[in-house]
Amino acid sequence: MTYAAEISRANPSCFVFLVDQSASMNDPIGGGQQRKADVVADAINRLLAELSVKCAKEEGVRDYFHVAVIGYGHAVGSAFTGPLAGRDLVPLSQVAEKPARVEKRTKKVPDGAGGLVETTTRFPVWVDPVANGATPMCRALASAESLVSDWVSRHPDSFPPIVLNLTDGESTDGDPAGAAWGVQTHVTADGAALLFNLHVSAANAVPVTFPDTDIALPDGYARTLFGMSSLLPPHMRFYALQQGVPAEDLARGFVYNADITSLVQFLDIGTRATDLR
Amino acid sequence: MTTSPSFTSTSGDEPTRALPSGATYVEALQDTALCFRGTDLAGADVRVDALGRPRAISGNFASVFSVTVADGTRYAIKCFTREAPEQAARYRAVGEHLARLDDDWTVGFDYVAHGILVDGAWHPVLRMEWVEAVNLLRWIDRHVDDSHAVSRVAERFAHLVARLAEAGIGHGDLQHGNLLITADGSIKLVDYDGVYVPALAGLPAAETGHRNYQSPDRTAAEFGPEVDRFSSWVVYLSLVALATDPSLWRQLRAEDAEHLLLAESDFADPAGSFRLATLTGHPDARLRGLAERFQQILLHHRAAPPPLEPLDPLDGVELSSGENFGDVEPSGPRLPSWMVERLEPHMPAPPPLVRFSHRAPALAALTRALLVLLPFGVPAAVFVDEAVAVADVSAVLAWAAVTAAGYRRQPERARAREARAERKRLANARLAAEAQATRVDQDARQAAEAAERSRAEQDRRRQDLQQWHDQRLRAHQRAVKVHLDQIDRDRQGSAARMHLEEQRLLVRRQKAHLRAELAQFRLATAGVEGVGPTQIANLEAVGIRTAADFVGVRYEVDGHDRVAIFVLADGRAVSAARVGEVSAVLIDQWRERRTAEVEATRPTAVTPVEHRALRIRFTAERAQLDAEHQRVLADAEVRFGELRAELRAAQVALADELKTANTATAHTRVDHDRAAAEAAVRLERAERAAAEGATRADAFRPISYRGYLRFLLTGRN
């Protein structure tokens, strides 16, 4: 059985986030006013916060994961800002402790009695939006591959590394499919590294979450990214279904203009991997 | 901590919308006036982390937060992140059942359906009393070397298991995180999400527990008071083993591992389990017995294990609730008998030297007599008789035989032999373990090297594939370029031809224009000096009437005269009578002047009709070439797609192949890593056993034949 390894401090796994920081990320996301770069930076910061909460125990955040955030645009390299700037794989406890800053964000939320009320929350920021230069996706994937390859050789028994690529899809340094397959050739005894893709697009098309076919996808970039994405492991599919997201047998870790932070909730820590019922 | 926990549950109209995530709860809890609006928790203080955000303690199904209200009461607020079926009803049933008990392991809770407001929707929370305690793993980390404390927790745990069985309760997830040890050493059992109470009979389990504590055969269908049997064996055996031999804590688990002494893989493959083998092969007989019992359960009753069989009858255990052995030295409360009775303490002090205890008086007398007489024996043999020598030797031999037999009969001598044999065996075992560790290390190194080579080989194959594709792509691009270049040349040729044609037409038109215009300049009316009617008539006779009729004049010598020869428009050469050289020059100058005048007004372009005809002709040609260009590009694109598809197919095939190879490599490496870790522990244990064996054997130092003789002689040893 694959994708069932225990994720623990003694046997941690790793996350590599790839963030598209090319000039095209300045464009607004389809059907919205937000820039793609803002959407993607927000998604990364939420994912990191979510992961930190997921792995928090009595004594603090445990190093169930080591996390890298690689940006690609005018250059390919660590996208962390603040104290973690320049670092690749960082133990999760350090990530949780060292955001670049904690922003106070004010928003209006329902007060439960039919009205709206303003409330302030502290929002940790590790990655700032950047939009500058070309889209060297192949180089970014190669960079992820080298981290993954190194990880599996040091942790051959771990839950396989997860690479999550957040992009608008328009690779400028060649067909990313080969580099994508390269990432997925690295395996632990528990299975091959997983490559998931979040496609943020300026096109105003219907959002898609974990499809099992590329027929409904609006363009060639989306289809290429779909083809590059790993199949969702069974237990992740189970949790997707539990959250009301229809994820078929051949559903892939691909999301088009939709939320990806739910991915963190798909991770099993401690308990036995849940079987599909 | 309250002394009488309460258990309540408000009505169970559970929300149907998806539950918030852990981080979403963290956001909501930053404004407790809002998220707990209308409840007594409104405005309460939430414990925060270093970033000033609510600090979570998360499990797979929920995150728990510490919330303190104005009067100082502290609660644990559990926020659910994954749906649990019939949650409210379960908590109600559990609460009602626990309320009837008077047990100190319980923690009070309220299930509040409208517990927390997140993004405008109410979600349930579980409000629990806050317990000051540490979970079992952290407690063991701190107290593992205090065998007494560990053994008492083992006792209390066995007691807890018995209480649960009596009360008909199944916790469902007995594990280190849910077993909390308070400062006074009592055990609190928390997390009642998966608890079974009789009122829930017939439902499936809400969860199937921590992987390192559950039978691999457990399913959600099993939900009853027996649900904790397997995990109670796991916990109890681990605690007994640690009380017996604290070094197992470090030897059988990685630092920070989330299990006690046994884990999922040991339950799945008991026959291949090193950890289980270490316990069943332990020198301590009672631990060994308990471990063997659990091994039997794993092999034969894994799906339906028997109840826990504690080492002591439980009714003999008294647990004084006032005793404090959290961080304070224990002050002599009674130990479980299996601890008291343990024959081999963990680190034995060197045993006292063993001495001979039984001296046969006859043998002692004989030895003394012989010692006195022997000095006389040799001179007697030399000076008295050879027979005396024979007697001497016989006597000595007989004495030697008798004392040797006496030595062999000594009970200490048998024990010494045993201890020495054991020392040798353990020393050999240590050598074997050493050799094994070296071999395993070598294997692991070789495996790592092989993996490295295979990685380089895989890189090469991927590069080869990419090169193969690049070459094909370049060849394709070259062929396309050649074709497109040809079309470009054809286009240029076509454009050049059109230009030429246009020029030709223009020249023709200009010539026609010139002739037509020049034809209007009649020589007769030109008034050229010296050209009278006679000459005009003569010129007309040879065909020259206008400036258009000739194109030039040349001169030929005829004897002494130069004759003017007119070149006609059709190229013929004529001469006119009485037109001399001088007149001819003037006529030609007239023609040139007229020509210059006419040329100034000549047309500079072809006629629109001609132009249209030309354009139609060449546009068709051009369109054909453009179409071909488009076709070549489209074909190239199709072919490019094909090449890419072929590359992707080849990449997928290669990736699958590499994945298979790498999976085998990963398994090999895992096996080697495990073997190396196990060999290291085996060596460590063999070294300790050998050292202990040597110490035990050293206690028999006085037990030797020589020592025996001395003992016979002096009575001392």
Over chain A, what is the mean pLDDT? 90
In three state form, how does the secondary structure of B242-293 look? Answer: HHHCCHHHHHCCCCCCCCCCCCHHHHHCHHHCHHHHHHHCCCCHHHHHHHHH
Q: List the structure tokens of B268.
A: 């799945």
Q: Do B264 and A6 touch (CB under 8 A)?
A: yes
Determine which of B310-319, B388-397, B503-512 has the lowest per-residue pLDDT on average: B310-319
pLDDT for the residue numbered A271 = 56
Q: A117 in a domain, yes or no?
A: no
**CA of B121 to nearest chain A CA: how many angstroms apart?**
7
Contacts of A274 in chain B (CB under 8 A): 208
pLDDT for the residue numbered B58 = 93
pLDDT for the residue numbered A245 = 83
Contact status, residue B476 vs residue B635, Cβ threshold 8 Å? no
Q: Do A58 and B210 touch (CB under 8 A)?
A: no
pLDDT for the residue numbered B10 = 59
* Strand ranges in chain A using DSSP code E only, listed in sequence order: 13-20, 56-57, 60-61, 65-72, 76-78, 90-91, 101-110, 116-125, 162-167, 187-188, 191-192, 194-199, 208-209, 254-256
Q: For position A140, which CATH number holds?
A: 3.40.50.410
Task: Please indicate whether residue B492 or residue B324 has the higher confidence score (pLDDT).
Answer: B492
What lies within 8 Å, CB to CB, of A87 at 6+ separation is A68, A78, A80
Q: How many CB pairs under 8 A join A and B?
A: 173
**Averaged over B458-469, what is the pLDDT?**
93
**In whole angstroms, what is the distance from residue B55 CA to residue B26 CA?**
8
pLDDT for the residue numbered B371 = 76
pLDDT for the residue numbered B318 = 42
Contacts of B654 in chain A (CB under 8 A): 181
Contacts of B655 in chain A (CB under 8 A): 181-182, 184-185
Q: A107 in a domain, yes or no?
A: no
Percent of chain A scoring above 70 in pLDDT: 97
Give per-residue pLDDT as tens, A9-19: 989 999 999 99
Identify the burial level of B427 via C-beta atoms within 10 angstroms of its C-beta, where 0-12 means exposed, 13-18 middle and 19 or more buried: middle
Confidence category of residue B13, pLDDT binned at 50, 70, 90: very low
Q: Do A8 and B652 touch (CB under 8 A)?
A: no
Go through B225-255 and write b for each residue having 16 or more CB atoms within 10 A of its CB, e for each that does not. bebbbbbbbbbbbbbbbbbbbbbbbebbbee
**Averaged over B430-445, what is the pLDDT?**
93
Confidence category of residue B329, pLDDT binned at 50, 70, 90: very low
Q: A116 in a domain, yes or no?
A: no
Q: Would you put residue B168 in left (φ > 0), alpha (ψ -120 to 50) or beta?
A: left
B343, pLDDT greater than 80: no
Q: Which residue of chain A is at minimal alpha-carbon distance from B470?
A: A174
Contact status, residue B170 vs residue B93, Cβ threshold 8 Å? no
Q: Do B655 and A112 touch (CB under 8 A)?
A: no
B122, pLDDT greater than 90: yes
What lies within 8 Å, CB to CB, of A53 at 6+ separation is B21, B22, B23, B25, B26, B56, B58, B63
Contact status, residue B562 vs residue B530, Cβ threshold 8 Å? no
Q: List the structure tokens of B407.
A: 């030595």
Residue B554, SS3? strand
B675, pLDDT greater than 60: yes
Q: Which residue of chain B is at minimal alpha-carbon distance from A275?
A: B219
Q: A109 in a domain, yes or no?
A: no
Q: A120 in a domain, yes or no?
A: no
B3, pLDDT greater than 50: no
What lies within 8 Å, CB to CB, of B328 at 6+ separation is none
Contacts of A243 in chain B (CB under 8 A): 18
Q: Which of B55, B72, B194, B51 is nearest to B130 (CA)?
A: B72
Per-residue CA distances from B649 to B238, B467, B614, B655 (Å): 52, 15, 52, 10
Q: Do A6 and B466 touch (CB under 8 A)?
A: no
B348, pLDDT greater than 70: no
Q: A136 in a domain, yes or no?
A: yes
pLDDT for the residue numbered B15 = 41
**CA of A20 to nearest chain B CA: how many angstroms apart?**
23
Which of B26, B659, B667 minimises the CB distance to A192? B659
B562, pLDDT greater than 90: no
Confidence category of residue B323, pLDDT binned at 50, 70, 90: very low
**In whole angstroms, what is the distance from residue B247 CA to residue B237 CA?**
15
B124, pLDDT greater than 70: yes
**In whole angstroms, what is the distance from residue B79 CA to residue B116 CA?**
8
Percent of chain B scoring above 70 in pLDDT: 92
Q: Do A265 and B82 touch (CB under 8 A)?
A: yes
Contact status, residue A225 vs residue A199, Cβ threshold 8 Å? yes
pLDDT for the residue numbered B377 = 67
Give per-residue pLDDT as tens, B381-428: 677 777 777 877 888 888 888 888 888 888 888 899 999 999 999 999
Q: A1 in a domain, yes or no?
A: no
- Cβ neighbour number for residue B407 with a 10 Å cutoff: 21
Q: A118 in a domain, yes or no?
A: no
* Beta strands A13-20; A65-72: pairing state: parallel
Contacts of B666 in chain A (CB under 8 A): 152, 156-157, 187-189
**Averaged over B18-33, what is the pLDDT?**
93
A155, pLDDT greater than 50: yes
**Averaged over B107-119, what is the pLDDT?**
93
Confidence category of residue A269, pLDDT binned at 50, 70, 90: low
Q: Which residue of chain A is at minimal alpha-carbon distance from B18?
A: A243
How many domains does one find in chain A? 1
Contacts of A47 in chain B (CB under 8 A): none
Contacts of A59 in chain B (CB under 8 A): 138
B43, pLDDT greater than 60: yes
pLDDT for the residue numbered B2 = 38
Q: Which residue of chain A is at minimal alpha-carbon distance from B644?
A: A175
CA A222, distance to chain mean position in Å, is 16
Q: Which of B242, B104, B128 is nearest to B182 (CA)?
A: B104
Residue B18 DSSP symbol: P
Test mutation, A47, A123, A271, chain B, max B CBs within 10 A: A271
Phi, psi of B54 (to 5 degrees): -50, 135
Residue range(s) defining the domain that contains residue A42: 13-98+126-265
**In whole angstroms, what is the distance from residue B711 CA to residue B717 CA?**
5
B201, pLDDT greater than 90: yes
Q: Which residue of chain A is at minimal alpha-carbon distance from B81?
A: A265
Confidence category of residue A262, pLDDT binned at 50, 70, 90: confident
**Averaged over B648-656, what is the pLDDT?**
92
Confidence category of residue A251, pLDDT binned at 50, 70, 90: very high
**CA of A223 to nearest chain B CA: how many angstroms apart?**
13
Confidence category of residue B711, pLDDT binned at 50, 70, 90: confident
Strand partners, B182: B133
What one-letter code names the amino acid at B109?
Answer: F
- Cβ neighbour number for residue B421 with a 10 Å cutoff: 12
Determine which of A62-76, A192-206, B231-245 has the lowest per-residue pLDDT on average: A192-206
B322, pLDDT greater than 80: no
